[in-house]
Amino acid sequence: MNGRTAPAPADSPTSAARTTATPRVVVTGLGVIAPNGTGTEEYWRATLRGESGIGRVTRFDPSRYAATLAGEVKGFVPRERLPNRLLPQTDPMTRLALVAAEEALADSGVDAGQLSTYAAGVVTAASGGGFEFGQRELQALWSKGGDHVSAYQSFAWFYPVNSGQISIRHGMRGPGGALVAEQAGGLDAVAKARRHVRDGTALMVAGGVDGALCPWGWLCQTRSGGLSPQTDPQRAYLPFSTEASGYVPGEGGALLVLEDARSAAERGAVHVYGQIAGYAATFDPRPDSGRPPGLRRAIQLALADAEVTADAIDVVFADAMGLPGPDAVEAEVLAAEFGPRGVPVTAPKTMTGRLLAGGASLDLASALLSLRDQVIPPTVNVPDQAAPEALDLVTEGPRAAGLDCALVLARGYGGFNSAMVVRRAA
Amino acid sequence: MSNTHDARRVVITGIGVVAPGDVGTKPFWELLTAGRTATRTISSFDASPFRSQVAAECNFDPVAEGLSRRQIRAWDRTTQFAYVAAREALADSGVSGETDPLRTGVMVGTACGMTMSLDREYAVVSDEGKLWEVDPAHGVPYLYDYFLPSSMTREIAWLAEAEGPAGVVSAGCTSGIDVVTHAADLIRDGAAEVMVAGASDAAISPITVACFDAIKATTPRNDEPETASRPFDRTRDGFVLGEGAAFFVLEELGHARRRGARAYAEIAGYAARCNAYSMTGLRPDGKEMADAIRAALDRARKDPKDIDYINAHGSATKQNDLHETAAFKRSLGEHAYATPVSSIKSMIGHSLGAICALEVAASALTIEHAVIPPTANLREPDPDLDLDYVPLVARQAQVNTVLSVASGFGGFQSAIVLTDPGSAQ
């Protein structure tokens, strides 16, 4: 299938802002750290094989909490991957982010010593910040007193900590900061980075790596109302299933290197995974308003931004919340926009859990890898589909397909909807 | 750098403020222009065990502000501030009823989110730090809303009937500028025509006080709370923790004109940089902040000589005030010496992520009222700081162009240029 382009309608919000030469922004590097694999290729191999990283929480005894399953990153030894001086000042999720950023930059082939002259920047997605670090310092405060709080607390927990640490480690002096919209933030951060590249920043690291697998973070997450109470890892996170009972949280995510397509070509970038072609974000109206949720509009606006019509989309990476109501909304929206079973839909996050601000960025990485390898990763553990007439859910092993354009969806707790279109490099 | 979005221009058409002192934009502006301070001994908890016991607190009564019992129970103070400030901004703009929900968005800046509630609730579920495996039996139902600062975005979006782009922007102490500029970008990109944007922080809480004590960033001047915040003064010894919120209605200029709205200021230019140096420290040369200032001026198509007033970060740490002064000289050259510079943190303290939004509000009001707020408590000039810091007394001045800047943990540096919308053709 071709990525057929359609002129944006005259009243499209994006058309007027476009000049004739909006620079194309491409992804030239990926760094992944996920419950089912550390590093892009290890993650991708596991994902195509349908290997799940979900299991009973091991970091603490989860027995007393309303949920006991998580996607934990395994076999990660921080002192083997990071300089010693960074360990006392970093939350576990920041350590994962630093390793993912290192991988993404190495993958891009950019000379790390040249980053400051690139005025490279970093935008990350966050949720609760460095929550485990924060729990330790709260414990010190309350059990021992204020003088026992670490000098690092002032920044180790805060929302943009990963951006700051990545910027410092790699000498990146361009725009920085963080966005928070729970799951949706993982796409919003990449979109913000795309705008910085369009404005002249040559290179941006963007995405989310997140997690809060400490008891205090866990208790907060169980109050989302969305966690599955199931204890069998194969029966817990079953989006679009008749037995959907909630989701499983996890840790990890992905960081991407974004560059202007022309400068990437000029420097002879090793990989061009694809173009960030379209994006939009919307917010749901108050539930009692009688107005429809914003997911479908986010999709339509993202397609318009990418200057494609729905039939150009070859695969959808669904938000797949795993709760009957939100799953039904997403299935209806996809069927309405693409036609019943009109496009393959998948949710590889059934193997990782939902990674707070990291999950949508990981889906974006998966979508780009799908474009590279012309294969759609599976959705695991969903034997009995709730809406088989609406969704062509990829539940078998990986499905080979001709893929030019992928759509990634993310919904954030509270009503955030984001959609992003990625297109295979020409 | 030429860019893709010069076609659309963005103006501020509504302002709402919750600042130390009394609630509302009018009391805020009166406090600033009178040169009064709202810093005092911390009253919200017993701060006597801490090194720094001073803060700038808001006289905020949620019942008097009309919040419901349910809102007061469920919402962190940060959310309450954000809601009240956004409500004032919406009323001030008169935009309600004239927006398309699908083309209206919300962006909220914060550094500390729901820290006060998290601190309080942690103490309960951990039995004051005794339990690592915190006890769910004592956990309130709102913990995920406290975990996610984006929960306050939802409340503002519902208030504003906004269904466009929404989120939280956080870059520590530059959040209040970065949220306004991100929202302006969304308007310039055509993703929205109206944005309700601002920042809120209310984190005068034991954990916040302790973590700034640990790095000696806050002042220990506990015996003189009213004059404890001393930006640019020789005797400055750290910042005074503050709290507050400022929100704006930002509109595409054509949208504002069609409905005959008053515009306080145009968001003319902005830029952000990282120093890639330290999570907390600043190099004395001010290079990255200067770079951000120059980029913001370029984008606004302004020269250094066009700047009539600088609303400074002026946190009153030894390091910041030197860094910032160097950055002004580096970016503006000789014109730095001719430009009035002041820090409203001298009066309302440093409310972390919110303060830059309060400073943007003060900058817009400076253009509107032709009065430059002073730097209070500046009685002993520092020989190393040789710019015009507008000591003690407000100054009448025609101000068409304001530069406001911020530095934050993480190395973030931001600059924004506001212009008189009347002067902008």
Question: What is the percent of chain A where pLDDT is above 70?
Answer: 94
Q: Is A148 exposed, middle or buried (0-12, 13-18, 19+ CB in 10 A)?
A: middle
Where does A339-383 have alpha helices with state H? 359-373
Does A217 touch chain B if contact means CB atoms closer than 8 Å? yes
**Residue that is written with structure tokens 């990763």 in the block:** A377
Q: What is the rounded CA–CA span in Å between residue B145 and residue B354?
A: 19
Nearest to B139 among A150, A159, A219 (CB): A219
- Cβ–Cβ below 8 Å for A168 and B279: yes
Give residue A7's pLDDT: 38
Q: What is the rounded CA–CA span in Å between residue A125 and residue B92?
A: 32
Nearest to B171 among A172, A177, A294 (CB): A177
DSSP string, B261-272: ----EEEEEEEE
> What residues form DSSP beta bridges with B406?
B414
Q: Is B247 exposed, middle or buried (0-12, 13-18, 19+ CB in 10 A)?
A: buried
Average of pLDDT values for A396-422? 97
Note the pLDDT tens digit of each residue in A155-210.
999 999 999 999 999 999 999 999 999 999 999 999 999 999 999 999 999 999 99
Cβ of A281: how many Cβ atoms within 10 Å? 31
- Residue B108 CA from chain centroid, whole number: 11
Q: Which of B58, B112, B255, B313 is catalytic?
A: B313
Does B271 touch chain A if contact means CB atoms closer than 8 Å? yes
- Cβ–Cβ below 8 Å for A154 and B215: yes
ipTM > 0.85 for the complex? yes
Amino acid of residue B143: L
pLDDT band at A114 (very low <50, low <70, confident <90, very high): confident
Chain A residues with beta carbon closer than 8 angstroms to that of B277: 168
Is B350 catalytic? The answer is yes
* Rounded alpha-carbon distances, angstroms, from residue B252 to B3, B65, B164: 17, 30, 14
**Phi and psi torsions of A247, nearest 5°:** -115, 170
Q: Are strands A274-283 and A25-34 parallel, antiparallel or unpaired?
A: antiparallel
- Cβ–Cβ below 8 Å for A158 and B172: yes
Radius of gyration of chain A (CA): 20
Note the pLDDT tens digit of each residue in A38-79.
999 999 999 999 999 999 999 999 999 999 999 999 999 999
Q: How far is A220 from chain B (nearest CA, A)?
A: 5
Q: Which two tokens stand for residue A218?
A: 């866990």
Amino acid of residue A213: L
Average of pLDDT values for B315-322? 96
DSSP string, A176-230: EEEEEBTBTHHHHHHHHHHHHHHTT-SEEEEEEEE---SHHHHHHHHTTS-B---
pTM value > 0.90: yes
Helix (H) or strand (E) holding B193: none
Q: Which domains does chain A have, with CATH numbers?
A: 25-266 (3.40.47.10), 278-424 (3.40.47.10)
Q: Which of residues 100-119 of A touch B (CB under 8 A)?
A: 116, 119
Does B174 touch chain A if contact means CB atoms closer than 8 Å? yes
pLDDT band at A22 (very low <50, low <70, confident <90, very high): confident
CA dihedral sign of residues B163, B167, B173, B178: negative
Note the pLDDT tens digit of each residue in A356-374.
999 999 999 999 999 999 9
pLDDT band at A13 (very low <50, low <70, confident <90, very high): very low
Chain A residues with beta carbon closer than 8 angstroms to that of B209: 146
Whether B2 shows a pLDDT value over 70: the answer reads no
- Cβ–Cβ below 8 Å for A282 and B163: yes
- Cβ–Cβ below 8 Å for B132 and A60: yes
Chain A residues with beta carbon closer than 8 angstroms to that of B142: 223
Q: What is the rounded CA–CA span in Å between residue A217 and residue B38?
A: 35
Give residue B6's pLDDT: 58
- Residues with Cβ within 8 Å of B46's Cβ and at least 6 positions away in sequence, in order, are none
Where does A32-91 have alpha helices with state H? 40-48, 78-81
Does A272 touch chain B if contact means CB atoms closer than 8 Å? no
Does A175 touch chain B if contact means CB atoms closer than 8 Å? yes
Whether A292 shows a pLDDT value over 70: the answer reads yes
Whether A112 shows a pLDDT value over 90: the answer reads no
Q: Which of residues 50-69 of A touch B (CB under 8 A)?
A: 60-61, 64-66
Mean pLDDT of chain A: 94
Whether A9 shows a pLDDT value over 60: the answer reads no
Q: How far is A4 from chain B (nearest CA, A)?
A: 23
Chain A residues with beta carbon closer than 8 angstroms to that of B174: 177
Give residue B415's pLDDT: 98
Q: Which of residues 285-324 of A touch B (CB under 8 A)?
A: 285-286, 291, 294, 297, 301
Does B151 touch chain A if contact means CB atoms closer than 8 Å? yes
Chain A residues with beta carbon closer than 8 angstroms to that of B147: 127-128, 131, 212, 217, 220-221, 223
Give residue A383's pLDDT: 84
pLDDT band at A118 (very low <50, low <70, confident <90, very high): low
Is B335 catalytic? The answer is no
**Please, what is the end-to-end C-alpha distance for chain A in angstroms?**
13
What chain A residue is nearest to B277 in terms of C-alpha separation? A168
Contact predicate A17/B189, CB 8 Å: yes
Whether A2 shows a pLDDT value over 90: the answer reads no
- Cβ–Cβ below 8 Å for B191 and A13: yes
Q: Pick from A15, A219, A221, A227 the residue to mutate for testing the B interface (most B CBs within 10 Å).
A: A219
Does A183 touch chain B if contact means CB atoms closer than 8 Å? no
CB pairs under 8 A between A and B: 301
Q: How far is A398 from chain B (nearest CA, A)?
A: 34
- Residue A128 CA from chain centroid, whole number: 15
pLDDT band at A115 (very low <50, low <70, confident <90, very high): confident
Amino acid of residue B297: L
Q: What is the rounded CA–CA span in Å between residue A214 and residue B92?
A: 44
Q: Pick from B8, B117, B138, B144 the residue to mutate for testing the A interface (most A CBs within 10 Å).
A: B144
Helix (H) or strand (E) holding B385: none
Q: What is the rounded CA–CA span in Å between residue A157 and residue A82?
A: 18
Whether A8 shows a pLDDT value over 50: the answer reads no
Average of pLDDT values for A318-339? 98
Does B274 touch chain A if contact means CB atoms closer than 8 Å? yes
Q: Which of B182, B255, B323, B350 is catalytic?
A: B350
- Cβ–Cβ below 8 Å for B147 and A161: no
Note the pLDDT tens digit of each residue in B280-305.
888 889 999 999 999 999 999 999 99
**Residue that is written with structure tokens 């866990």 in the block:** A218
Q: How far is A8 from chain B (nearest CA, A)?
A: 13
**Please, what is the end-to-end C-alpha distance for chain B in angstroms?**
22
Q: What is the rounded CA–CA span in Å between residue A411 and residue A185?
A: 9
Chain A residues with beta carbon closer than 8 angstroms to that of B294: none
Q: How far is A74 from chain B (nearest CA, A)?
A: 21
Sheet bearing B241-242, strands edge to edge: B39-41, B54-56, B241-242
Q: Which two tokens stand for residue A264?
A: 């990437």
Whether A6 shows a pLDDT value over 70: the answer reads no
**B279 DSSP 8-state letter:** S
**Phi and psi torsions of A60, nearest 5°:** -155, 170
Q: Which two tokens stand for residue B289?
A: 């902040």
Is B5 catalytic? The answer is no
Question: What is the percent of chain B where pLDDT is above 90?
Answer: 94
- Residues with Cβ within 8 Å of A339's Cβ and at least 6 positions away in sequence, in order, are none
Does A168 touch chain B if contact means CB atoms closer than 8 Å? yes
Q: How far is B23 from chain A (nearest CA, A)?
A: 27
CA dihedral sign of residues A53, A59, A61, A67: negative
- Cβ–Cβ below 8 Å for A171 and B105: no
- Cβ–Cβ below 8 Å for B210 and A153: yes
**Residue that is written with structure tokens 């003064």 in the block:** B233
Q: Which of B112, B173, B182, B255 is catalytic?
A: B173
Whether B98 shows a pLDDT value over 90: the answer reads yes
